[in-house]
Chains A and B, each alone.
Chain A
Amino acid sequence: AQSVTQLGSHVSVSEGALVLLRCNYSSSVPPYLFWYVQYPNQGLQLLLKYTTGATLVKGINGFEAEFKKSETSFHLTKPSAHMSDAAEYFCAVSATGGGNKLTFGTGTQLKVEL
């Protein structure tokens, strides 16, 4: 079984400040990890993914995430927030043998203030 915990259902940052969205996972086998973004009343868009190899993953829109096995974490960061980053962000985990099913966290709503 696998699970995802996103700490902080709402995060607020100032424009230009660091964005840090937290994700911790639980998986009995090596995980595949994903971050998605959702704008209001829209579907989800993939930001980045970790499968194997390099643990620092770069995605779209200046976001990146680091896979830390020892901490079972996959936190999402962006050095400088922009107003257009305001959205809901979901971390998800999948694992081999699971039929490519994703287990999602409950999401973090990011607010960017002037």
Chain B
Amino acid sequence: DGGITQSPKYLFRKEGQNVTLSCEQNLNHDAMYWYRQDPGQGLRLIYYSQIVNDFQKGDIAEGYSVSREKKESFPLTVTSAQKNPTAFYLCASSIPGQGGITEQYFGPGTRLTVT
């Protein structure tokens, strides 16, 4: 089955520690995205990558970092500089498409709790 996997489902960390969230897709999609979801705020874009070895900041990139060394993988690191890291993190992917716009497919999410 093709899809997006995110691991782990739940993650707990102490304040001041960096933590890396995994996102893997076997859909052969070129583009990948990371969103943060907080209650009542919808989804906000953290970083996105349209091709291997290239990525751009989204609306709330401060305190986060990413890499895109392989087409299938787009890990997100939440650094100690992120002031409020506790949230639900969603990874997505898409084929850019002829017109450059297509739907995004989402993984199951990782709930990060930092205390």
Give the B-binding residues of A (Cβ under 8 A).
9, 32, 34, 36, 41-46, 49, 51, 90, 94-102, 104-107
A36 to B107, CA, bound (A): 13
> A43 near B43 (CB under 8 angstroms)?
no
Closest-by-CB residue of A relative to B97 is A100
Known: A51-B101, A96-B101, A102-B43; 19 extra A-B contacts, CB below 8 A, are A9-B40, A32-B101, A43-B6, A43-B109, A44-B43, A49-B103, A90-B43, A96-B99, A96-B100, A99-B56, A99-B100, A100-B96, A100-B97, A100-B100, A101-B33, A101-B58, A104-B42, A106-B41, A106-B42
Give the interface residue-count category, chain B: 20 to 34
Indicate if the CB atoms of B109 and A102 lie closer than 8 Å: no
- Assuming the contacts A100-B96, A101-B58, A106-B40, asked whether A43 and B90 have C-beta atoms less than 8 A apart, the reply is yes
A-B contact pairs, 12 of them (CB 8 A): A9-B40, A42-B108, A43-B109, A44-B92, A44-B106, A51-B101, A95-B101, A96-B100, A99-B48, A100-B102, A102-B104, A106-B40
Chain A interface mostly: loop
- Nearest CB of chain A from residue B105's CB, rounded to whole Å: 8
In the bound complex, how far is the Cα of B101 from the Cα of A99, in angstroms?
Answer: 7
Query: Closest chain B residue to A9 by CB distance?
Result: B40
Q: When chains A and B are docked, how far (Å) is the Cα of A75 from the Cα of B106?
A: 22
